[in-house]
């Protein structure tokens, strides 16, 4: 079987596409499927992109990214995340998703095992498969803040993938758990991919970068980007920080595929890092209000859920096949959510609700979901 035949299209993108098509036909659809902040991109970021384009920054950029942005990312990682790196350890990519793909294509060989925590973001497994690796799923413990990774490490384990804050659980992994991951990586000479795309959207706990732990600099691939923090999903701008040999491999792939990230968009990224961040507090506070509203309503409905401490998702147990639930909810009540089966192996009767939408939409959606559950 060809590698591409072993993977499915992204469930979140599939649901979102159906919802958008229904909206185009005039249907009153509430989309709680896609992980896209509903806040506008800050004005100074948009203006930086426009200014760069008007100044003629519309030609090919260096494959790794413009030097100014590479330096700014390295500075951010040193000062905010405690990761002692230089610009040579950074590559800018067209979206964080592509950084994950490039990193796995660079490091994973045929038959290598890659540990994923069930549930995990929908695109990790396809990237593992496309690189020739074997996904190994580890079930979370009941509190969702731990997982017995140590029971799944073998002599074929090449990488452990960690996402904190987590999509879809909303878990912010405590330092003790990350320390366990660090010890396993060092003791068994394993790479760790640390996806930190939601690092600024935290309600409880603190974000800790795995690459900041002792002896982890040379075995950690830190993934991040601008989509979630700066509401820049359509700009398609991400980055990775990693040992130089990995960055060089990613650069080779990038040179033969997309050539480079969009040139003028990189100046928007530079403005995002260097500019005013006051909007972040307001955004996180609004997400927290929505989270607390959903928690109250789900409890009233008698539904079990994973209490989120970060990101903007609610992972909810519905007690039936999640794909069937999502299809019927969209068909009958015009509410789009994502099936839990898209995120791994165990949570086939769970769904993911994105609260990256207005409170008004959430109130209407909750009412419709309640009607649906009551039959």
Q: What are φ and ψ of residue 230, in 5° steps?
A: -110, 10
The yes-or-no verdict on residue 65 having pLDDT over 70 is yes
pLDDT at 226: 98
Question: What distance in Å separates the CA atoms of residue 26 and residue 29, rounded to the nearest whole number?
Answer: 9
How is domain 3-41+278-374 classified at the CATH fold level? 3.90.1150
Give the pLDDT of residue 16. 75
Q: CB of 157 within 8 A of CB of 113?
A: yes
Q: What is the pLDDT of residue 143?
A: 87
pLDDT, the chain, mean = 95
312 — phi, psi (to 5°)? -145, 50
Q: What does the pLDDT read at residue 329?
A: 95
Question: What pLDDT score was predicted for residue 11?
Answer: 67
Strand partners, 239: 92, 224
- Calpha distance 27→87 (Å, rounded): 48
- For the chain, the structural domain boundaries read 3-41+278-374, 56-274
The answer as to CATH 3.40.640.10 being correct for domain 56-274 is yes
Mean pLDDT computed over 278-302: 97
Taking residues 157-169, report their average pLDDT.
98
According to the model, what pLDDT value does residue 58 have? Answer: 98
| Torsional sign, CA 23, 28, 32, 36 | positive
Q: Are 90 and 72 in contact (CB under 8 A)?
A: no
Q: Report CA 99 to chain centroid distance, whole Å.
A: 11
Does residue 168 have a cis bond before it (omega within 30 degrees)? yes
Q: In percent, how much of the chain has pLDDT > 90?
A: 90
- Cα 187 to its chain centre, rounded Å, is 27
Residue 142's pLDDT is what? 81
Q: What is the mean pLDDT of residues 205-219?
A: 97
Q: Extract the tokens encoding 269.
A: 């990224």
């Amino acid at each position: 079987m060809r590698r591409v035949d072993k993977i499915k299209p992204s469930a979140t993108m599939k649901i979102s596409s159906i919802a958008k098509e229904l909206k185009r036909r005039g249907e009153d659809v509430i989309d709680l499927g896609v992980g896209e902040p509903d806040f506008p991109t800050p004005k100074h970021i948009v203006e930086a992109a426009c200014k760069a384009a008007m100044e003629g920054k519309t030609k090919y950029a260096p494959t790794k990214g413009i030097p100014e942005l590479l330096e700014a990312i390295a500075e951010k990682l040193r000062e905010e995340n405690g990761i002692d790196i230089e610009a040579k350890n950074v590559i800018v990519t067209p979206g964080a998703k592509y950084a994950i793909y490039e990193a796995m294509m660079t490091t994973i060989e045929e038959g290598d095992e890659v540990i994923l925590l069930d549930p995990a973001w929908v695109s990790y497994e396809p990237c593992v498969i496309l690189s020739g690796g074997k996904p190994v799923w580890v079930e979370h413990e009941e509190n969702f803040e731990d997982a017995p990774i140590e029971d799944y490490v073998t002599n074929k384990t090449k990488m452990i993938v960690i996402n904190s804050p987590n999509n879809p659980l909303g878990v912010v992994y405590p330092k003790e758990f990350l320390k366990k991951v660090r010890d396993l990586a060092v003791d068994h000479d394993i790479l760790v991919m640390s996806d930190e795309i939601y690092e600024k959207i935290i309600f409880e706990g603190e974000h800790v970068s795995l690459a900041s732990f002792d002896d982890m600099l040379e075995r950690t691939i830190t993934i991040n980007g601008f989509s979630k923090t700066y509401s820049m999903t359509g700009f398609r701008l991400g980055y990775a920080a990693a040992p130089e040999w990995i960055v060089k491999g990613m650069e080779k792939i990038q040179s033969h595929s997309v050539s480079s990230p969009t040139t003028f968009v990189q100046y928007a990224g530079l403005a995002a890092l260097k500019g005013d961040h006051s909007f972040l507090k307001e955004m996180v506070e609004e997400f927290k209000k929505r989270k607390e509203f959903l928690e109250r309503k789900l409890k009233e409905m008698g539904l079990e859920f994973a209490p989120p401490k970060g990101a903007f998702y609610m992972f909810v147990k519905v007690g039936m096949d999640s794909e069937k639930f999502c299809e019927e909810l969209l068909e009958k009540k015009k509410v789009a959510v994502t099936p839990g089966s898209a995120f791994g192996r165990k949570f086939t009767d769970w769904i993911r609700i994105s609260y990256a939408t207005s409170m008004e939409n959430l109130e209407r959606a909750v009412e419709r979901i309640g009607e649906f559950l009551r039959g």
